[in-house]
Chains A and B, each alone.
Chain A
Amino acid sequence: MSNSFAVAFIIIGVTFDLLGCLGLIRLPDIYNRLQAATKSVTLGTCAILFGVALEFGIINSGGIKALICILFVMFTSPTAAHALARGSHIRGFKLWEESVVDKLKKDREK
């Protein structure tokens, strides 16, 4: 526990992870859950990985691996979220009943 910057990053990351999972429980439908969970958990995990990289030292075998892992998480998680939202809309899972507009459903029915 030498580097206090590293510990600060890790604590911020864990906080965002917790908030994202709270959103996963509280929000009403699948699209809103995807929003909250994807954003917060991606940033949280990236912050944890960056803190770990600082703890190892950046130019180091450990630090480089953590940075490459940040790259993979940042690329893959929005793509997975987009695929999940698209798939569940194609299959016809409804939005929350208090939602305002659904342009996509209107255009599909044309």
Chain B
Amino acid sequence: MFTFLFFFLIIAAFMCLYRVMVGPTPPDRMVAIDILGIIVVGMCALFAAQTKRDFYLYIAISWSILSFVGTLALVKFLEGRGFDE
């Protein structure tokens, strides 16, 4: 049962990777990377439910925070500002 759900989530992740590969402008790729991060959080949660071990949820929490910080760093690069402003 969970294996099927993993299959669909991996299809969604590959759609994001398609957008990262094709995306005509840089912000398109950044959006796709951000969304990919949130999908990975969902995958970690599913993995926790499948194996009945809750430490995968620690990975989910830290992944959600780190992907947020990474997106903000990319946006600073996009706006053309330095990192110490």
Contact = CB atoms under 8 A, between A and B. Distances in A.
A contacts B: CB pair < 8 Å: yes
Interface of A: 1, 6-7, 10-11, 13-15, 17-18, 20-22, 24-25, 30, 33-34, 37-38, 41-42, 44-45, 48-49, 51-52, 55-56, 61-62, 65-66, 68-69, 72-73, 76-77, 79-81, 83-84, 86-88, 90-91, 93
Contacts of B57: 52, 62, 65-66, 69
A82 B35 CA distance: 14
Contact of B39 (A34, A41, A79, A93): A41
A55 B1 CA distance: 14
A13 B2 CA distance: 13
Contacts of B9: 14, 17
Contact of B46 (A10, A42, A65, A90): A10
Nearest to A38: B35
A25 B15 contact: yes
A24 B41 contact: no
B52 to A, nearest CB: 8
Summarize B's interface: helix, strand, loop or mixed: helix
A104 B30 CA distance: 22
Nearest to A42: B38
A88 B46 CA distance: 33
A61 B45 CA distance: 14
A24 B31 contact: yes
Given A21-B35, A24-B15, A69 B49 contact: no
